[in-house]
């Protein structure tokens, strides 16, 4: 029998989360962000499901954009980091992608673009993130250069928020104000600014095109919250099974480093998943793990291929019992918080060893 460790992907929940994003930002358009293999959920299946809801997707790399075309999908595809080499322009034209330009050097090689206004490009504005983007004067130069380049047209202006994960942080409002000031110089150009987190701020931060990512996958974009608190549905269920059971006597320890010691006789199960599958090695003792639907606790260190779980909360569990590492019963945000990280990292780190099973299920 093949290993029973896998990630079930609920594509209806994905589409439901997209619709919630739309409701939170009325009057806007949305590009659904599917970079990093659809945040670990499988790019092709996620792209396919989301193109039923929107005709614009966003990715980080040319390779990701090409994978969307290779399965025969024809949405608009925005390249969030644009082009890196002059030769990338030919691939942009072939794939009809929309690069985001953050620097004049990216225009090298653009002369291979056929001169019929074919390629829409976005201009990245730096409003305080200080990662990619041009300041106000740089934006002006860039827009002029694009407008005088045959074959290019300006699709819009883009910026990115640094602190939107905290709805009380004043920086989002300040960045929105700077973006508004820049865009006043370019009447008619649409603006894209809102990541998932900004959907939970007021509409002054939404602008014309939103870019929801993590919320589509059911993870919280807001610190200190969990997806279900925000009415987001979990999309990935990471599951495995119990492959061995033993009872520890008081004083016995579990696993590498002997970091957990039984205080009383403890029935425990070994589960066939570990950090080699992307389960976080930093998950501490007590991290919830659902066995046969009841919440049990991780004990001892996470190994590469296995973890140990106390079965004291689930006496009927045994070899073959089903295990949910995250999904409906245990929120991926809860595991992330306990492990000192964010669901973005856990979801994108599920390793290629874990098969993704895509399911459309019943409409909720
Ligand atoms: C990843 C990314 C997003 C989506 O961010 P979330 O926090 O996942 O919603 C939006 N815009 C840009 C430029 C990104 O890189």
- CATH number for 355: 2.40.37.10
CB of 102 closer than 6 angstroms to any ligand 1 atom: no
In terms of domains, do 51 and 144 share one?
A: yes
The alpha carbon of 303 and the centre of ligand 1 are apart by a number of angstroms equal to 32
Beta bridge partners of 75: none
Is residue 2 included in any domain, yes or no? no
Q: Which of 219, 244, 276 lies at the terminal end of a domain, its last residue?
A: 219
In terms of domains, do 251 and 335 share one?
A: yes
Q: Which of 219, 245, 274 lies at the terminal end of a domain, its last residue?
A: 219
> What one-character DSSP code corresponds to residue 19?
H
Q: How far apart are CA 10 and CA 72, in angstroms?
A: 22
CA dist list (Å): 29 to 173, 185, 213, 341 = 20, 22, 14, 30
Is residue 224 included in any domain, yes or no? no
In terms of domains, do 177 and 313 share one?
A: no
**Torsions phi, psi of 192, nearest 5?**
-120, 125
In terms of domains, do 214 and 247 share one?
A: no
In terms of domains, do 246 and 210 share one?
A: no
The alpha carbon of 165 and the centre of ligand 1 are apart by a number of angstroms equal to 12
For residue 221, give the ligand 1 atom closest to its CA. 7
Q: Which two tokens stand for residue 265?
A: 């006789």
Residue 361 pLDDT class (50, 70, 90 cuts): low
Is residue 77 included in any domain, yes or no? yes
Q: How far apart are CA 123 and CA 104, in angstroms?
A: 10
pLDDT at 363: 46
Residue 78: pLDDT above 50?
yes
Give the E-state strand segments of 80-188 in sequence order.
97-101, 119-124, 152-158
For residue 100, give the ligand 1 atom closest to its CA. 13
Mean pLDDT of the chain, nearest integer = 96
pLDDT by residue (tens digit) across 214-271? 999 999 999 999 999 999 999 999 999 999 999 999 999 999 999 999 999 999 999 9
What percentage of the chain carries pLDDT values higher than 90?
Answer: 96
The alpha carbon of 80 and the centre of ligand 1 are apart by a number of angstroms equal to 9
> Is there a contact between 357 and 8 (Cβ–Cβ < 8 Å)?
yes
Give the 3-state secondary structure of residue 53.
coil
The alpha carbon of 264 and the centre of ligand 1 are apart by a number of angstroms equal to 47
Return the residue whose CA atom lies nearest to atom 6 of ligand 1: 213
Residue 2: pLDDT above 50?
yes
The alpha carbon of 139 and the centre of ligand 1 are apart by a number of angstroms equal to 21
In terms of domains, do 208 and 245 share one?
A: no
> Is there a contact between 267 and 321 (Cβ–Cβ < 8 Å)?
no
The catalytic site residues sit at 35, 256
In terms of domains, do 199 and 303 share one?
A: no
Is residue 308 included in any domain, yes or no? yes
- Residue 304 in marked binding region: yes
pLDDT by residue (tens digit) across 161-201? 999 999 999 999 999 999 999 999 999 999 999 999 999 99
With tokens 């330009």, the residue in question is 101
Is residue 215 included in any domain, yes or no? yes
In terms of domains, do 254 and 215 share one?
A: no
Is residue 1 included in any domain, yes or no? no
CB of 222 closer than 6 angstroms to any ligand 1 atom: no
In terms of domains, do 336 and 264 share one?
A: yes
> Is there a contact between 121 and 155 (Cβ–Cβ < 8 Å)?
yes
For residue 165, give the ligand 1 atom closest to its CA. 7
Range of 90's domain? Answer: 11-219
Mark residue 198 as left, alpha or beta (left: phi above 0; alpha: psi -120 to 50; beta: remaining): alpha
In terms of domains, do 248 and 105 share one?
A: no
Is residue 50 included in any domain, yes or no? yes
In terms of domains, do 152 and 255 share one?
A: no
- Residue 31 in marked binding region: no
For residue 33, give the ligand 1 atom closest to its CA. 4
Q: How far apart are CA 266 and CA 223, in angstroms?
A: 35
Average pLDDT over residues 289-293: 98
Question: At 24, which CATH number?
Answer: 3.20.20.10
Q: How far apart are CA 140 and CA 267, in angstroms?
A: 67
CB of 288 closer than 6 angstroms to any ligand 1 atom: no
Count of domains observed in the chain: 2
CB of 220 closer than 6 angstroms to any ligand 1 atom: no
Q: Which of 191, 219, 247 lies at the terminal end of a domain, its last residue?
A: 219
* Positive or negative torsion for Cα 342, 347, 348, 352: positive
CB of 195 closer than 6 angstroms to any ligand 1 atom: yes
> Is there a contact between 33 and 58 (Cβ–Cβ < 8 Å)?
yes
pLDDT at 364: 39
**Torsions phi, psi of 128, nearest 5?**
140, -15
Q: How far apart are CA 110 and CA 90, in angstroms?
A: 8
CB of 79 closer than 6 angstroms to any ligand 1 atom: no
Q: Which helix (H) or strand (E) holds 266?
A: strand 266-271
Is residue 231 included in any domain, yes or no? no
CB of 212 closer than 6 angstroms to any ligand 1 atom: yes
In terms of domains, do 268 and 205 share one?
A: no
């Amino acid at each position: 029998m093949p290993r029973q460790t896998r990630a079930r992907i609920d594509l209806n929940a994905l589409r439901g989360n997209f619709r919630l994003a739309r409701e939170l930002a009325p009057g806007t358009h949305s590009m659904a962000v599917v970079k990093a293999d659809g945040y670990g959920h499988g790019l092709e299946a996620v792209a396919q499901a989301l193109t039923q809801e929107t005709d614009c997707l966003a990715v980080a790399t040319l390779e990701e954009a090409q994978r969307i075309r290779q399965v025969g999908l024809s949405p608009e595809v925005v390249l969030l980091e644009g082009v890196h080499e002059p030769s990338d322009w030919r691939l942009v034209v072939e794939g009809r992608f929309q690069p985001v330009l953050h620097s004049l050097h990216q225009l090298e090689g653009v002369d291979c673009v056929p001169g019929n206004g074919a390629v829409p490009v976005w201009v990245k504005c730096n409003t305080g993130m200080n990662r990619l983007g041009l300041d106000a004067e740089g934006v002006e130069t860039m827009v002029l250069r694009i407008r005088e380049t045959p074959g290019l047209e300006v699709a819009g202006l883009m910026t990115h928020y640094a602190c939107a994960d905290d709805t009380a942080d004043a920086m989002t409002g300040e960045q929105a104000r700077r973006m508004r000031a820049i865009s006043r110089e370019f009447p008619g150009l649409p603006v894209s600014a809102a990541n998932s987190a900004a959907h939970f701020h007021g509409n002054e931060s939404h602008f014309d095109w939103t870019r929801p990512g993590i919320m589509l996958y059911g993870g919280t974009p807001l610190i200190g919250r969990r997806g279900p608190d925000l009415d987001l549905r979990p999309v990935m269920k990471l599951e495995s099974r119990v492959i061995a059971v033993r009872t520890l006597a008081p004083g016995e320890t579990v696993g590498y480093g002997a970091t957990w010691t039984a205080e009383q006789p403890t029935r425990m199960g070994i589960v066939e998943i570990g950090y080699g599958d992307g389960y976080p090695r930093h998950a501490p003792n007590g991290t919830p793990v659902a066995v046969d639907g009841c919440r049990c606790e991780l004990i001892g260190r996470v190994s590469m291929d296995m973890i140990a779980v106390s079965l004291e909360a689930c006496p009927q569990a045994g070899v073959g019992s089903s295990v949910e590492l995250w999904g409906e019963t245990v929120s991926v945000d809860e595991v992330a918080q306990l492990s000192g990280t964010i669901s973005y990292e856990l979801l994108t780190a599920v390793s290629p060893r874990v098969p993704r099973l895509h399911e459309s299920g019943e409409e909720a």
